[in-house]
């Protein structure tokens, strides 16, 4: 079974690449972030033609997440139970579903913007709600994983130059403590480091030749519980999908399971 996560930075703009990638890789379940569309405008029909069902939580131009699966899609939950609102709005940042023998969450953690910005406090509150929401499944006997754009680099090795992030979000002690608390529910990072290259980044800014210069960050993560982690046979960042015209600024992260 092949499961992946990918911040596509607009599923409409990236649709041809998404469809081609699904076909070429044989991915069974794809967790998508930053759909940047409504649920009604999500390309469910195009995906259905490839054999995929879609569970979507999306309301408009910003944010939006989805799980697409060709191995079943049941017990769908849209939204983060107990999650905080930002400026009076519950943002579409989480969706969960059971896909065959595995239960997955697709999450798009708030960016945080700046350390002294209200969005940063919201980010930490959102992490705490996520920890509480997944604790039971994380400790359970069924393979379970939380996949997505976490907007946190777990260690200093997960950014191209830590000194350039001093005082910025994505690398603060509080954010990393929130990640540690999430792992404390029984989840582990299932993508090994190093992979086939020294810095398996998953995101590179479009500006200032970020990708050609490998000025990236590893912020797209797959956290699995013990049954999920034990079933992993391979895991990698599909760096090639960041290349070429019309690419997202994130690369897919792929995990193969024997379940």
User: Residue 97 sits in a domain of what CATH number?
Assistant: 3.60.10.10
Residue for token digits 């359970």? 140
Lowest mean pLDDT among 47-51, 146-150, 194-198, 250-254: 194-198
How many structural domains comprise the chain? 1
Say whether 181 sits in a helix, a strand or coil.
helix
How much is the CA Rg of the chain, to the nearest whole Å? 17
The answer to the question of whether 250 is labelled as a binding residue is: yes
Give per-residue pLDDT as tens, 176-234: 999 999 999 999 999 976 555 556 899 999 998 999 999 999 999 999 999 999 999 99
The answer to whether residue 158 is catalytic is no
How far apart CA 91 and CA 87 sit, in angstroms, is: 10
Token duo for residue 111: 């960016």
C-alpha separations of 214 from 108, 197, 200, 242 in Å: 23, 11, 10, 11
Element containing residue 122 per DSSP (H, E)? helix 118-138
Q: What mean pLDDT is predicted for residues 3-28?
A: 98
Token duo for residue 209: 């030749």
φ/ψ of residue 108, rounded to 5: -125, 95
**What pLDDT is stored for residue 61 in this prediction?**
82
Q: What mean pLDDT is predicted for residues 223-252?
A: 96
Q: What is the DSSP letter of 85?
A: P
| Catalytic residue of the set 108, 120, 122, 203 | 108
Task: For residue 190, give its domain range.
Answer: 2-257
**What pLDDT is stored for residue 192 in this prediction?**
75
Token duo for residue 247: 């690419």
Give per-residue pLDDT as tens, 157-175: 999 999 999 999 999 999 9
Give per-residue pLDDT as tens, 32-84: 999 999 999 999 999 999 999 999 999 988 899 999 999 999 999 999 999 99
The answer to whether residue 149 is catalytic is yes
Both ends of the chain: CA-CA distance in Å? 7
Token duo for residue 63: 């944010």
Residue 151 has pLDDT above 60, yes or no: yes
Confidence (pTM)? 0.97
C-alpha separations of 41 from 62, 90, 246 in Å: 13, 19, 20
The answer to whether residue 223 is catalytic is no
**What pLDDT is stored for residue 174 in this prediction?**
98
| Catalytic residue of the set 28, 137, 149, 220 | 149
């Amino acid at each position: 079974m092949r499961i992946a996560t990918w911040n596509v930075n607009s599923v409409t703009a990236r649709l041809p690449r998404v469809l081609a990638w699904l076909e070429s890789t044989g991915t069974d379940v794809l967790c998508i972030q930053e759909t940047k569309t409504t649920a009604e405008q999500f390309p469910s029909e195009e995906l259905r033609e490839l054999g995929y069902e879609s569970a979507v939580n999306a309301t408009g131009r910003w944010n939006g997440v989805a799980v697409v699966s060709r191995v079943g899609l049941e017990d769908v939950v849209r939204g983060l139970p107990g999650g905080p609102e930002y400026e009076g709005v519950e943002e579409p940042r989480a969706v969960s579903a059971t896909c065959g023998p595995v239960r997955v969450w697709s999450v798009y953690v708030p960016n945080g913007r700046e350390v002294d910005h209200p969005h940063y406090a919201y980010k930490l509150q959102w992490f705490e709600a996520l920890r509480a929401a997944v604790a039971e499944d994380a400790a359970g006997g069924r393979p379970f994983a939380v996949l997505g754009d976490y907007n946190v680099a777990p260690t200093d090795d997960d950014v191209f130059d830590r000194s350039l992030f001093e005082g910025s979000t994505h690398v603060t002690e509080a954010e990393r403590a929130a990640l540690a608390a999430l792992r404390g529910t029984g989840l582990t990072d299932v993508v090994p480091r190093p992979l086939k290259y020294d810095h398996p980044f998953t995101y590179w800014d479009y500006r200032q030749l970020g990708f050609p210069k490998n000025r990236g960050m590893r912020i797209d993560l797959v956290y699995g519980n013990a049954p999920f982690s034990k079933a992993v046979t391979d895991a990698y960042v599909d760096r090639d999908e960041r290349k070429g015209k019309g690419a997202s600024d994130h690369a897919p992260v792929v995990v193969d399971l024997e379940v």
